[in-house]
Amino acid sequence: MKQVLKVLAVFVVIAALAFAGYKMFFEKKPEEQTEIIKAEENKTGQTGQKKEAALPVKAMKIERGNLPLRLNISATADVWEKAVIRTELSGTVENIKVSVGDWVKKGQLLVKLDDEERKLEVKQREAERLISYSKYLVKESTETTETKELTKEQREELEAMKIQYQKALKEIDRGKISPEAFEKISDEYQKLLIFSGDLREEVRKAQEGLSTAIIQLKQAELNLKRTAIRSPFSGVVAELKISKGEKISQGQDVVKVVNLESLYLKGYALESELSNIKEGTRVRIKFDAFQEQYFYGEIQAVSPEIDPERKTITVYVKVDNKDRLFLPGMHAEIDVEYQVFENVIKVPRNAVIFRQERYLVFVVRDIKRNIGTANWEYVTIGHQNDDEIEILSGVQEGDLVLVEGHGTLAHQSRVRVIQ
């Protein structure tokens, strides 16, 4: 019995010691419990739930402004002035004065052909002219030709024929008479002039070969001039198709010149869009090569014909290219501003979201130190273009709307507005 009591006493002592140890090391003091509760309260809201993290978003204030309606046309750049220059003579390339990419002025020398043979031809033709001229002078000084005095009727006939000939000259230029009819009138007039003696000197020169010699000399001088190939307009050398020392034939391609300042855009609009396209209309342009920048121009011309198969009309847009940024063949998108709504409330297109069959925007409320609540507001939209949408109701001027980072937000989300 005594043995049992001793075991029981030892057990009681061990239990007491264990209880005392628990109280000392594991049970929190009231002060410690208070601090823990305070820390937990800092982590939760009044409802006891954890506070939502503020999501980063971008926002902008709603303002009034003009909203242009635009018609989009796909276009390609080209130039009014471009030429592949061909040689008018055969010969050897003596010198090439330019390189590809050089800017040249109108009349500037591009290529020089060897001209020795052409110089000799000019001297030969000049000698032939002198021989013919001397023969003409000898005959003119030794022979006397009596000029018949025309009667009044002959003089009136000659004057009437002169008037008819001058009229025919104008009509042939305008296409009012045929070449055959003009030739007949011209022949009659020449006959009367010869008969009257008014062309006596010209006839004598022709008889002595002087007229032919003069023509051949002028032709030789022209050929000599053609050995210098010059630019027909100011522009950029786009291509050289010959080499120095090369023998080239008449009509061969020599050099290509492009005037970049005459650049324009050629686009195609639908037949149904014709009423919104007028000459002189200002347009906005975005080139594929300059995606971050807009340029501006105006409609220079609209084709008077509709393509019967594609049902499109060709539109020509004038572009300022003095800095030579744009090159032929570049692709661009043209926005034709055919109507402008003034002083409307508008937001960027990416501010408007379509949910539950309705349009809405997120408006930031109660913002402090860039932290606020994003509430969705249903809106009624009006006119729109590729960049902006008119808002008829639902928000007001000055409201702060989200434009980025709000695609998956819920109503009353906490947000942090960033720049």
Domain 82-114+227-258: which CATH class? mainly beta
- Inter-helix orientation angle 210-225/200-207, to 10°: 80
Span 241-251, average pLDDT: 94
236 and 258 Cβ atoms separated by less than 8 Å: yes
Q: Among 23-27, 126-130, 145-149, 210-214, name the one with the lowest average pLDDT.
A: 23-27
pLDDT band at 141 (very low <50, low <70, confident <90, very high): low
Distance of alpha carbon 403 from alpha carbon 363, whole angstroms: 10
Given this model, what pLDDT does residue 175 score?
Answer: 84
Tokens 């000898």 found at: 138
Task: Return the CATH fold of 55-64+343-418.
Answer: 2.40.420
Instruction: Indicate the DSSP class of residue 50.
Output: B
Sheet of strand 103-104: strand arrangement: 82-86, 253-258, 235-240, 103-104
pLDDT, mean over the chain: 83
93 and 111 Cβ atoms separated by less than 8 Å: yes
Comparing C-alpha atoms, which of 289, 370, 363, 379 is closest to residue 327? 289
Given this model, what pLDDT does residue 250 score?
Answer: 94
347 and 389 Cβ atoms separated by less than 8 Å: yes
- Domain ranges in the chain are 2-42, 55-64+343-418, 70-79+260-342, 82-114+227-258
Comparing C-alpha atoms, which of 77, 87, 76 is closest to residue 110? 87
Looking at the predicted structure, is the pLDDT value of residue 186 above 80? no
Q: Provide the whole-model pTM.
A: 0.58
Higher pLDDT, 193 or 405: 405
| pLDDT tens-place string over residues 32-56 | 443 333 433 344 444 444 556 889 9
Q: Which H/E stretch holds residue 362?
A: strand 358-368
Given this model, what pLDDT does residue 45 score?
Answer: 44
249 and 90 Cβ atoms separated by less than 8 Å: yes
Rounded to a whole number of angstroms, the distance between the first and last alpha carbons of the chain is 87
412 and 374 Cβ atoms separated by less than 8 Å: yes
Instruction: Report in angstroms the alpha-carbon separations of 145 from 13, 131, 198, 275.
Output: 170, 22, 13, 75
Query: Which residues, including other chains, have CB under 8 Å from residue 194's CB and lie 6 or more apart?
Result: 203
Looking at the predicted structure, is the pLDDT value of residue 191 above 50? yes
Looking at the predicted structure, is the pLDDT value of residue 275 above 60? yes
Higher pLDDT, 191 or 282: 282
Comparing C-alpha atoms, which of 215, 226, 213, 209 is closest to residue 119? 226
The winner for highest mean pLDDT among 42-56, 207-221, 330-344 is: 330-344
Given this model, what pLDDT does residue 177 score?
Answer: 86
Looking at the predicted structure, is the pLDDT value of residue 121 above 60? yes
Distance of alpha carbon 336 from alpha carbon 302, whole angstroms: 13
* Residue 254: strand, helix, or coil: strand
Looking at the predicted structure, is the pLDDT value of residue 126 above 80? yes
Q: What percent of the chain has pLDDT over 90?
A: 54
Q: Which two tokens stand for residue 253?
A: 């391609």
Q: How many helices (H) and strands (E) does the chain have?
A: 7, 22
| pLDDT tens-place string over residues 230-239 | 999 999 999 9
Looking at the predicted structure, is the pLDDT value of residue 196 above 80? no
Comparing C-alpha atoms, which of 81, 13, 53 is closest to residue 416? 53
Looking at the predicted structure, is the pLDDT value of residue 332 above 90? yes
Span 224-229, average pLDDT: 93
Domain 70-79+260-342: which CATH class? mainly beta
Higher pLDDT, 197 or 275: 275
**C-beta contacts of 353-360 below 8 A and 24+ residues apart:** 353/406, 353/407, 360/394
Phi, psi angles (nearest 5°) of residue 126: -70, -40
Amino acid at the residue 115: D
Distance of alpha carbon 201 from alpha carbon 211, whole angstroms: 11
Comparing C-alpha atoms, which of 98, 103, 110 is closest to residue 259? 103
Distance of alpha carbon 419 from alpha carbon 284, whole angstroms: 28
Neighbours of 226 (CB within 10 A): 17
Distance of alpha carbon 331 from alpha carbon 148, whole angstroms: 75
Given this model, what pLDDT does residue 157 score?
Answer: 75
Given this model, what pLDDT does residue 42 score?
Answer: 42
Looking at the predicted structure, is the pLDDT value of residue 19 above 70? no
